[in-house]
Chains A and B, each alone.
Chain A
Amino acid sequence: MPDAEASLYALLGRFFAAEIDRDLFETLQVPDIRETFEKIEPGCTACFDEEAAAAEFCRLFVLPKGTPAVAGAWLKGTGSPNSTAIVGLVLNLRSALDLDLPDHLPPDHAGVLLPLMAWLLDHQPDAAADFREQALAPWVAPFAAALQEKAELPLYRVVAKILPALIPPVGTS
């Protein structure tokens, strides 16, 4: 049985890897998930419109002027770590571990980094904390804040609130 925290990362990653579809929506009806989501924003798991969800995903994460789910959109170049550093980290991890990564996404995409975090928690927990600090903590807060403001679909707002609670910025525990 996978680790709860790892499963949470994997679930969150799923929100960015692709549109919310019926399968994912069904998964959110699992009582532990539904209750917690509803506590964060009542009504968010009530109904599902596939077309609206697809358009929302595109608006937020695919088209310009949205909230790109890539580290590069929320980090500056100098100072460590930066987007290039994270891309390199992911590609180096991929070859060191011979890992199959989602190849339809750039390496610093949340849909890659979050599942990678999940994998590390399950298989290499000692490395997981470092990975979170290098690849997620530096940029998740501004991304989540922007997503919270821009999202029209309640589920994305909930995800946007979960992320910074799960991944506090560098320098906080």
Chain B
Amino acid sequence: MSEIKRRDLLKIGAGAALAAGAGAAAIPLVRRLADSAPPAIDIKKLVAGKLDYTRAKAVPTICFGCTTHCGVIGWVQDGRVRKIEGNPLDPNTQGNICSKAQGMISYTYYPERLMHPIKRVGKRGEGKWKRISWDEALSEIADRMRPLREGGVPEEFVFHYGRDKTKGYTKRFTNAFGTPHRLNRRSICSSNRRAPLMSFYGREFEWETQDFENTKYIVNFGGNPMEAYQGGLYMMHRIQKARVDGGAKMVTFEIRPSATASVSEDYFPIMPGTDGAVAFAMIHVILREGLQDEEFWNRWSNLPLEKLRESVKDYTPGWAEEQSGVPAADIERIAVEFAQAAPACCTMSNRGSAKHYNGVQADRAIRTLDVLVGNVGKPGGFCLSSLRGWAGRYGQEGLPKLSQPGPKPPNPKPWGIGEGYDEEAFKKLPDFVQERVNNFPEKWKKKYFGELATPSEYPLAWHWYQMRVGQLVYPYIKEGRQKVSVYMSFTLGASYGYPEANVAREVLQDESLIPFHVAIDIGYGEQAALADIVLPEATSLERWDHHSTNNYGLVPYTGVRQPLVEPAGETKSVQAILQDLAKRIGGGMEEYFAFESEEAFYKEWYKNLPVSWEDFKRRGIWYDEGREKDYELYERPLTDAELEGTAVEGDLVMKGGKAVGIMMDGKAVRGFPTPNRVINVYDEIWPEAAKAVGLPADDVNASPIAVYDTVPEHRDLGEDDYIFSTFKWNVHTQGRSGHWKYHAEIVHTNPVFMHPETGETLGVQEGDSVRVSVYRPKGHTYRGGEDGIMGSFENHVRFLSGMHPKVVACSHHVGHWEHGAVGASKNEATGPAEGTGPGAGNADPQAAPEKIWWSKGRGGIGGGVAINDALPINPCPLTGGQNWYDNVCKIEKL
């Protein structure tokens, strides 16, 4: 082509001027009030400079870099958020943050961020799109949804989220629409640990709040608050202070040298699925030595001590060492040290102990330890504090009531036969499901809403409240258990991060199963890539949300997420999207979305706070500084007001057919929010659920008290069998941070970590490539017992001496194939993944192609490998919690 000369340019310009004169094509910019002459402009003075804290403005909000949701402030200068820091007014964080907070800046400003609604052209999943206007997008979606509602089949609209912190806004929408299908991923995360807690302590306490500030001894079964963990940051700074300044000791059982294991006084690598054994042995030792707090146990536990003693009589430290590899002498010592530190001691456990076939029972044993030594609710002990929004619940007495503005739509009707039930939807279910549900007790019939929201095979996934079983949604749709007409993904990464993510992708690409798929997300990820319409969402720096969670400082508090800057491009918050959609669908939905603005909606929500809305926004946080800490909530006497209208039946204080308190020493006290107002170490709900679904009574999950049984597929492990585990890094969060440049710089690969001895046995050296092949689980689970390799992936090896010799582990944060240049990598068949190469249209100021130093094209190690296709769907019986950490695998050198 010939060189373009100045005269060529001016020729085009002349033509364009002519056309512009005729009103065609380019529309010139106009000034809003064109009557006055424009001021003289000095460009150089208007260029934004380095962050200047005397010019920049800080606005408090709530972080969204992970699921902990710390109070932060964002510094805004020249229209951009430049820096995130802690909010010192937040009593939970006390002004602290972690690295992921800065990730919000990455995901708000990375240049590949999706700015416009798009609609697919070509086949679903082909990757061909065109822009459409919001009006077009929402009209089409409303036109698809309205007939379902008008036609009496609103349940064919399925809303499936991955992370929803609107705290009820999306539920408002699904309820107003009339569908019970508001699905989530709780089971993929934590239902196995929430179920034991709710069984012990009641629905209100599905999460505990250890008093780390004052503790002297922590026994940690696989928890990793220094890197992840819901509430990890709140725990981290307190634990470190307690250890370094207060002399507290932490013992950790883990499979890798996590940050938490590394700062612990004692770290024991442990065989996966055997945490329960160690806990049981500790109970055994404590009872043997008479170190239990008998008074507390007799007062508050519903299991006679003798029964407990009987149940653990064979769980000796020697036996536990055989199961777990943890030396018996250490188990003895730790049990004694723990008990002697009581009540200023506590257990800690999360997915590490719970996400196993026997994980629910392991956690019940671990929870028993705290009850046994009487540290529950005591300073330094295992405390319970308000988790949810303030609605006058247990532990929230005296707090201003905060609730969404009315009117609020009613819940949909449960599915079943009879008055008050949705019979039509029920009768469409497979016969075997109807039969099972018809035989359920009343209490479950009233809560049953079909197989996607309340899978009948997993009653404990929804007995206390709907935790649901997210990883079965796609198989169930595939099986035809529920017809879907409109499927809406919200901040969901299932097609990347769910177990057997290939099943999710397969179902999502099948238009006969999913006729219409809308994805709402802040970026174009793997889920959006399989949609028909993608609606770009405003990020956490650009929107509102309500915030409440448990305070590790033990005084309930609340906060608000507020926008720091306008949503970029054409992005909109999910609240704005759903409000608009509700109005377009009409038919009465609009009544529940009649507020004038998002801010007005949240202002109404917080109206009962004893501070002005302006002050609350200015500080971002409110709590009653004079309120007592939530110690021994269960011993608080019922007030005269609370006693009104009550009657004593047995030792329970009853009101309106429900127990609201318990008589202790002749006085009415609160007790625990369980039906019998005590701690349920023994709970019939487990055998009851087992019977209802046909789970054999000798299955470990069917026991009314905690018992131990080896994970089924671990019972006869061969020499060549290893356990594959996953884990989380501190610089990443779930599957949505792979494209955060400064975080990807630190962790951009997910090698197979193993012990050097394991490497030697396998004949591999660091950097060699291996294929990890995973077998299906045994036991009563999805496709349990099927022979053969379920899936495999290939990656390179790294050694860490802190790995358990029988365990290999990868993280899943990296290995994306969408999201853009920094996040993407190729899944290579033979060897470590390709990273990003030079020349690719890169999209990030700090990461222009030549700067992604780890990319293969620049001689680097490359990026990550997607592993989730190789990890089996594995719901634990009864709760449906995904058993992530039992996977037996074989490893071959490539």
Direct A/B contact, Cβ within 8 angstroms? yes
| A72–B845 CA distance with the chains assembled, in angstroms | 5
Bin chain B's interface residue count.
Answer: 35 or more
Q: Which of B65-73, B78-86, B635-643, B776-784 contacts A (4 or more CB under 8 A)?
A: B78-86
Q: Distance in Å from the Cβ of A117 to the closest Cβ of chain B?
A: 10
CB-contact partner of A83 in B2, B3, B33, B845, under 8 A: B845
Within 8 A of A (CB), among B23-77: 24-33, 38-44, 46-49, 77
Given that A119-B28, A130-B43, A146-B841 are contacting pairs, would A88 and B79 also be in contact in the complex, using a CB cutoff of 8 Å? yes
Q: Distance in Å from the Cβ of B54 to the closest Cβ of chain A?
A: 16
| A6–B26 CA distance with the chains assembled, in angstroms | 11
CB <8 Å contact, A161 and B4: yes
Residue of B nearest to A10 (CB): B26
Residue of B nearest to A2 (CB): B17
CB <8 Å contact, A65 and B824: yes
CB contacts (< 8 Å) of A87 on chain B: these are 48, 78-80
Q: Distance in Å from the Cβ of B537 to the closest Cβ of chain A?
A: 15
| A97–B31 CA distance with the chains assembled, in angstroms | 7
From B11, B20, B29, residue with most partner A Cβ within 10 Å: B29
Q: Which of B124-132, B157-165, B264-272, B614-622 contacts A (4 or more CB under 8 A)?
A: B124-132
Residue of A nearest to B29 (CB): A119
| A131–B568 CA distance with the chains assembled, in angstroms | 23
| Interface presence of A153 (CB below 8 A) | no
CB contacts (< 8 Å) of B843 on chain A: these are 64, 68, 72-73
| Interface presence of A170 (CB below 8 A) | no
Within 8 A of B (CB), among A142-165: 142, 146, 149-150, 161-162, 165
CB <8 Å contact, B47 and A85: yes
CB contacts (< 8 Å) of B42 on chain A: these are 127, 130
Given that A27-B25, A101-B29, A115-B28 are contacting pairs, would A64 and B818 also be in contact in the complex, using a CB cutoff of 8 Å? yes
CB contacts (< 8 Å) of A123 on chain B: these are 38
Q: Distance in Å from the Cβ of B133 to the closest Cβ of chain A?
A: 9
Given that A41-B1, A89-B48, A99-B31 are contacting pairs, would A7 and B17 also be in contact in the complex, using a CB cutoff of 8 Å? yes
CB contacts (< 8 Å) of A1 on chain B: these are 17, 21
CB <8 Å contact, B116 and A65: no
Q: Distance in Å from the Cβ of A166 to the closest Cβ of chain B?
A: 6
CB <8 Å contact, B25 and A23: yes
CB contacts (< 8 Å) of A134 on chain B: these are 43-44, 47
| Interface presence of A47 (CB below 8 A) | no
Q: Distance in Å from the Cβ of A11 to the closest Cβ of chain B?
A: 4
CB contacts (< 8 Å) of A80 on chain B: these are 47
| A35–B12 CA distance with the chains assembled, in angstroms | 9
Given that A14-B25, A59-B128, A87-B80 are contacting pairs, would A127 and B12 also be in contact in the complex, using a CB cutoff of 8 Å? no
| Interface presence of B16 (CB below 8 A) | yes
CB contacts (< 8 Å) of B14 on chain A: these are 4, 7, 32
Q: Which of B107-115, B172-180, B371-379, B540-548 contacts A (4 or more CB under 8 A)?
A: B107-115
| Interface presence of B842 (CB below 8 A) | yes
CB <8 Å contact, A7 and B16: yes
| A81–B771 CA distance with the chains assembled, in angstroms | 47
Given that A85-B48, A91-B79, A105-B569 are contacting pairs, would A118 and B115 also be in contact in the complex, using a CB cutoff of 8 Å? no
CB contacts (< 8 Å) of A150 on chain B: these are 841
CB-contact partner of A98 in B31, B43, B44, under 8 A: B31
CB-contact partner of B16 in A11, A58, A107, under 8 A: A11
CB-contact partner of A39 in B8, B25, B824, under 8 A: B8
CB <8 Å contact, A142 and B129: no
Given that A7-B20, A100-B32 are contacting pairs, would A142 and B848 also be in contact in the complex, using a CB cutoff of 8 Å? yes
CB <8 Å contact, A97 and B845: no
CB <8 Å contact, B121 and A55: yes
- Could you give, for residues 119-150 of chain A, a 1 whenever the CB lies within 8 Å of some chain B CB and a 0 otherwise? 11011101100110010000000100010011
CB <8 Å contact, B12 and A11: yes
| A40–B2 CA distance with the chains assembled, in angstroms | 7
Q: Distance in Å from the Cβ of A60 to the closest Cβ of chain B?
A: 8
CB contacts (< 8 Å) of A4 on chain B: these are 10, 13-14, 16-17
Within 8 A of B (CB), among A1-48: 1-8, 10-11, 13-14, 18-19, 23-24, 26-27, 30-37, 39-41
CB <8 Å contact, A65 and B820: yes
CB <8 Å contact, A8 and B12: yes
CB contacts (< 8 Å) of B1 on chain A: these are 40-41, 161
CB-contact partner of B9 in A18, A54, A93, A165, under 8 A: A165
| Interface presence of B254 (CB below 8 A) | no
| Interface presence of B821 (CB below 8 A) | yes
| A97–B41 CA distance with the chains assembled, in angstroms | 9
| Interface presence of B201 (CB below 8 A) | no
CB contacts (< 8 Å) of A23 on chain B: these are 24-25
CB <8 Å contact, A31 and B841: no
CB <8 Å contact, A73 and B4: no
CB <8 Å contact, B841 and A68: yes
| A18–B570 CA distance with the chains assembled, in angstroms | 13
CB contacts (< 8 Å) of B31 on chain A: these are 97-100
CB <8 Å contact, B819 and A64: yes
Q: Distance in Å from the Cβ of A10 to the closest Cβ of chain B?
A: 4
CB <8 Å contact, B29 and A55: no
- Could you give, for residues 236-276 of chain B, a 1 whenever the CB lies within 8 Å of some chain A CB and a 0 otherwise? 00000000000000000000000000000000000000000
CB <8 Å contact, B11 and A32: yes
| A70–B113 CA distance with the chains assembled, in angstroms | 11
Residue of B nearest to A70 (CB): B111
CB <8 Å contact, A35 and B11: yes
CB <8 Å contact, A165 and B112: no
CB contacts (< 8 Å) of A58 on chain B: these are 118, 128-131
CB contacts (< 8 Å) of B844 on chain A: these are 72-73
Could you name 5 residue pairs across A and B whose Cβ atoms are closer than 8 Å? A27-B24, A33-B12, A36-B8, A64-B524, A106-B569
Ranked 9 nearest A-B pairs via Cβ: A88-B48, A88-B78, A32-B15, A4-B13, A64-B820, A8-B13, A130-B43, A33-B15, A27-B25
5 more A-B contacts (CB under 8 A) besides A40-B8, A77-B845, A89-B46? A27-B25, A85-B48, A99-B32, A104-B115, A106-B115
Q: Which residues does B use to contact A, with CB under 8 Å? A: 1-5, 8-21, 24-33, 38-44, 46-49, 77-80, 82, 109, 111-112, 114-116, 118, 121-122, 127-131, 523-524, 568-570, 818-821, 824, 839-846, 848, 851
